[in-house]
Chains A and B, each alone.
Chain A
């Protein structure tokens, strides 16, 4: 069974600084996607960024970027210039089946932004 591991239950960062959230996963597939989702307090989950495994280039969305290491099965999220609105639970997710059925989520990292 595929697993997704987030080893940092909580992280904190000073406003305007950079923070990296880690995620490792296990799969036997060669082509797949990986996702980072953000869940602010009492608000719905939204996609932050996604990575295609067969692409060598790491995905970037404004202040958010990933460090994808396929051989190590590692998929970390870097948030640059942290803002108060970045405070949330962050979940790494992997679609367990070919074709985006049933996302498997990690246990999440709670990110606190220190003003």
Chain B
């Protein structure tokens, strides 16, 4: 399977705990995105990497959130001191280096987080 993969697929945690999610993009895709999707809503942009550089962060990404892509391949998203409002689906997407105005983003299956 050469698609975008995410791990874990589901995570249940207690309020105040830290959680970390992993995303493996499609091989050779140099761009990687994180989105958050709450029930009944479309995905909302969180952050974006080009290779290992984090180029943009949304205001949604509070100080409790941190994302890394240390070698320009897989990425991790960590949430510290989780709150019930963090419960959502966390989606990862990747896209190749643009050769036109815009390239398609390919999405992973997501990690569904439930904070009790």
- A interface vs B, CB < 8 Å? 4, 31-33, 35, 37, 43-47, 50, 52, 91, 93, 95-96, 98-108
Contacts and interface: CB of A to CB of B under 8 A. Distances in A.
Nearest to A31: B101
Contact of B42 (A95, A98, A101, A107): A107
B40 interface: yes
Contact of A45 (B44, B48, B55, B107): B107
A95 B40 contact: no
Among B41, B58, B101, the most chain A Cβ lie within 10 Å of the Cβ of: B101
Contact of B101 (A46, A52, A103, A104): A52
Interface string B88-116: 00010001001001111111111000000
Contacts, number: 66
B56 A101 contact: yes
Interface of B: 3-4, 31, 33, 35, 40-45, 48, 55-56, 58, 91, 95, 98, 101-110
Contacts of A52: 101
Given A102-B48, A105-B42, A50 B55 contact: no
B109 A44 contact: yes
